[in-house]
Structures are given as structure tokens and as C-alpha cells.
Amino acid sequence: MSDLAMLLKGTKKHVMTGVSYMIPFAVAGGVTLAVCVALGGTNSVPTEGALGLIAQIGSAGLGLMVPVLSGYIAYSMADRAGIAPGFIGGYIANSIGAGFLGGLFSGLLAGILAFYLKKIKVPKSMSSVVSIFIVPLVDTLAVCCVMLFLVGQPIAAIMSALTNWLNTMSTGNAVILGIILGAMDCTDMGGPIGKVAYTFGVSMVGTVDAATGLPSTQAMQVMAAVGVSCAIPPLACGISTLMFRNRYSSEQREAGKAALVMGCVSISEGAIPFAAESPLRTIPQLMIAGGLGGAISMLLGAGDPAPWGGFIVAPITTNPLAYCLAIVVGSFVGAILMGIARKPITEDQSIEESADDDQILELSIEM
């Protein structure tokens, strides 16, 4: 088996390494931001006063999630040589709006390149120069150029095309639009696709009726579908860890508790640890749940005048019962689908996973 095949065979382990280091950032940042939003009383992230300053801490934690994920995926693949390219590549992925999927890609790419660059034969006297200077520099430039020039432009084009498409849909069937927006919100949890749906909803709310000075009924219904589906991913993940405890590791169950808090105030990033660890057992299920939630919201005529989502805006929505029902139904359906998609974790797997975590947390001082 080739070196590349062996390296890629351990992809799940590499991704889990990144996820295990990322979860504390998700918990610290997400819960801090969620509490600030809850205490702010404006249904949005506070920007002024003490709460505004504390909210910056939460935003910093969430902003570091993708770079940490990317950096430690690369570290798992190539030891210290992959850390700098992985972190910087993840930062670039975040800055161009590629979200956690971009972070996964940049981490794997950085790890593969670092792994092969380390294999270049050099005189022993030059080995430290290569490991400290050449490998990080070349790897970082290569990964970031790929992210900026090959990934960034297509993402921008896709976002523009999706926005135009949603604009043509806005006068169409409301339920179909709710399904589309809901599924988009649950695709990448704050990534480019979800941002298109969220931006579309906010722009609709920003278009007020000239006679009343308020957003139109249709605009509020669109934002309600978006607000519902933004809250569903973390809530579904948290509920699933409670309903199917034997199908999640102890670390995931702890992340699920934080996800429940983040879901209540519509911070979709709470679902990223689950989506990064097992995309195929998480993302399709959440898309179905989000689409269902968006459809129910549209069908029952819930309206959201605020550019935010989750239960925190329920008191100011029109038809709050329908709004909350859409969140609850979507979240439980997503939780059940996620639980069904996963296999029970045996005692042996738990012991092995714990041993892997211990190895992950022991940073080697050698290349």
C-alpha cells in the first residue's frame, strides 16, 4: 500500500483529532456568545457595553474553530510540520467563507503536503532548517494559494448564483422556498451555503413596507423559515446525544449539552463537531430536518421581524406557537435520523477511543 493510501486510510482518525481539539473552542466561544445574546435583550449579538466586550470573546472562540480544526488535522497527519500550514490554511478558509468544509479540506491538504515534504532527503546538518523553515513556508504558501485562487473564487460564484436563484424563488411556492432555505441552512452550519440563506432572509426583512414601515408578511415568513432552520442543527445534535446516548462518545455527549444552549439562541456552529466527525451521518439528516422545519414554518404562517432565529426571538414573532413547533419538530426529526444513522458504540470502542484521545493530547516534541 502506498504512503498516500496509508495516510488517507487514517482520515477519520485525523479528522477526529481536529474535532477533539476544536470542541473546547466551540463550547467556550459558543456558550459565551449564547449567554451574551440571551442577556442582551435585542435578539442579536451585543456590540456595546460590557456584554459587547464579552461577546467578542465568544466570537473569537467561534472564529478559531475552523483554524483549530484544520491545524490539528494536519498535525495528526504530519506532526509539528503540519500545524502552521493547517492553522493558516484554516484561517484563510474561514476568511473566504468556506466554513468548516473548507477547514477540513485545508487541513487534509496541509497534512499531505507536509508529510511528503518531510520525506525530502537532505544532509543531516540541514534537517532542522528544513523542518523549521522550508516545510512550513512551502506548505503554507501552497495550501493558501489553493484556498485563495482555486477555492475562494468558485465559492464566491456559487454564493452569487444561489442568491440570484433564491431571488427568483421568493414569489413562488412558500413551502418549497421554506424547504430550500431550511436545507441550505443545515448544509454547512454557518458556511457559505448557510450564509446565502441567512443573508437572503435578512435582506428580505430589511425591505420594509412603505405604508407601515414594517417588513412585509412575506418577508417575515422567509426570515422565520431561516430562523427556524438555523436553530435546528445544534438542537438536533444535542437532543440526539440525549436520546441515543450509546451511539455517541462521552466527548460528543458533552458537546451535545453545549449545542443545546447554542441552538436555543440560533448559533448553528454548535453542530460543527458532529458534522466534522461524521458528515454522512449528520449533514443529510440535518438537511432533511431543516427543510421540514422551514416548510412547517411557512405552511403555518410564522413570521420573524428580527434578523435572528432560535427560541430567543419567539416572543416577537407572529404566530409564535407555529414558530416554536417548527423548531421542535425539525429538531426531534433530525435527532432521530442522526441516531438511526449511527451504530451503538461498544465498550471496546469506548476504551479504544479513550486511548486514542490520550495519544492525541500528548504533543510529541519530535518530528
| Residue 265: predicted pLDDT | 86
The set of cell numbers assigned to 330 is 425539525
How many C-beta atoms surround the C-beta of residue 232 within 10 A?
A: 36
Question: Residues 6 or more apart from 246 whose CB is under 8 A from it?
Answer: 344, 345
Higher pLDDT among residues 45 and 90, named by residue:
90
- DSSP-derived 3-state class of residue 303: strand
Confidence tier at 358 by pLDDT (50, 70, 90): very low
The set of cell numbers assigned to 145 is 494559494
The span from the CA of 138 to the CA of 110, in Å, is 10
Write out pLDDT tens, residues 273-315: 899 888 899 999 999 999 999 999 999 999 888 778 889 888 8
Say what percent of the chain tops pLDDT 90.
34
The span from the CA of 31 to the CA of 43, in Å, is 15
Dihedral Cα 111, 116, 121, 127, nearest 10 deg: -10
Sign (positive/negative) of CA torsion 147, 153, 158, 159? positive
pLDDT at 82 over 70: yes
CB 357 within 8 A of CB 20: yes
- DSSP-derived 3-state class of residue 189: coil
The span from the CA of 210 to the CA of 226, in Å, is 24
Helix (H) or strand (E) holding 190: none
Q: Across residues 126-140, what is the average pLDDT? A: 81
Q: Give φ, ψ of 303 to 5 degrees.
A: -135, 140
Question: Residues 6 or more apart from 195 whose CB is under 8 A from it?
Answer: 97, 159
Confidence tier at 215 by pLDDT (50, 70, 90): low
pLDDT at 158 over 60: yes
pLDDT at 60 over 50: yes
**DSSP β-bridge partners for residue 208:** 215
DSSP string covering 85-153, please? HHHHHHHHHHHTT-HHHHHHHHHHHHHHHHHHHTTS---GGGHHHIIIIIHHHHHHHHHHHIIIIIIHH
Q: Across residues 188-198, what is the average pLDDT? A: 82
- DSSP-derived 3-state class of residue 98: coil
| Residue 102: predicted pLDDT | 85
Nearest by Cα to 205 from 184, 221, 229: 221
In terms of phi and psi (left: phi > 0; alpha: psi -120 to 50; beta: otherwise), the region of 115 is alpha
Angle at 301 between CA 296 and CA 306, to 5 degrees: 100
Q: What is the CA radius of gyration of the chain?
A: 21
| Strands of 182-331, DSSP E | none
